[in-house]
Amino acid sequence: MRKTSFLGRGRLSRREFARTASYLAASAALLPAAASLQPRSARAQQPPSPTPAVPKLSAAGQAEVEAKLAAIIRKYGDRLSAADKTELRRLLSQTQEGLTKLRAFPLDNPDEPATVFLAARARGE
C-alpha cells in the first residue's frame, strides 16, 4: 500500500517539498511588501485598533517613561507620526509597569540566579 502525503497525492518527493517550500517562502516575503505599497495617507485613514488603557504609574515611573520617550523622539522624531508617538508612550508605560514590579522584588547580594552557566569541557582537556 502506498503512503499518501498530507496533500493526498502519494509520497511527497524532496523536489516537490523544496518547490512548495520555496513558493510559501516567496509568498510570505511578498505579503509585508504588498502592505507597504499602500500610500501612507491610506494607511493613516484606517480606523485605529482599540488600545488597552495606559496603566497608572507612580510619579517616578511616569518621569522615566517621559525621559525614554523624549530620547526616542530626539533620535527618530522626524520619522514618527503623532499616532506613532502615542503608541510609543503606551508601550513604554506598559513596559514601565513590568519594570516597577521587577525592581520591587527583594534581592540580597548573595542571591544566586535561577540557572548557572557551566561550560562543557571538550574530552581530553
List the pLDDT tens digit at each of the 125 positions of the chain: 445 555 555 677 888 888 888 877 777 776 665 555 666 665 556 655 555 566 688 889 899 999 999 999 999 988 889 999 999 999 999 999 889 888 888 888 888 778 878 888 887 76
d(CA 61, CA 87): 17
Burial class (CB in 10 A: 0-12, 13-18, 19+), 87: middle
Nearest to 90 by CA among 57, 122, 112: 57
Domain boundaries defined on the chain: 14-37+50-104
CB 77 within 8 A of CB 53: no
Hey, is 109 helix, strand or coil?
coil
Against a cut of 0.75, is the pTM above it? no
